[in-house]
Structure 1
């Protein structure tokens, strides 16, 4: 359960970053994350975590 909540928080944070950077809404941000996840065969929460790390450099 804790992992699920942590994963969800990372996804929500990442959606916020995408929304701010690209001027898109929450649904479009999620679609972009899901697209990357599908095309790289990577779990969604891993995509979100990796993107957040690349933005902050210290997560």
Structure 2
């Protein structure tokens, strides 16, 4: 299990008052932001990133 998978699992299983869906979407958005930042240097990959973000929202 990757560190990211374990981190998300820990968030979702935590005994707290936070809305797990909101927390999970924050994690997904953070991953999405990191992907966008990492592909800015290559125009071709940037198009792929745009499709991931806009044609299939929530799909990484």
Smaller-chain TM-score bracket: 0.3 to 0.5
Instruction: Name the structure where helix makes up a greater proportion of residues.
Output: 1
For the pair shown, the structure with the greater C-alpha radius of gyration is 2
Scaled by the length of structure 1, what TM-score is found?
0.42
Structure number with greater CO (CA < 8 Å, separation at least 6) is 1
Scaled by the length of structure 2, what TM-score is found?
0.41
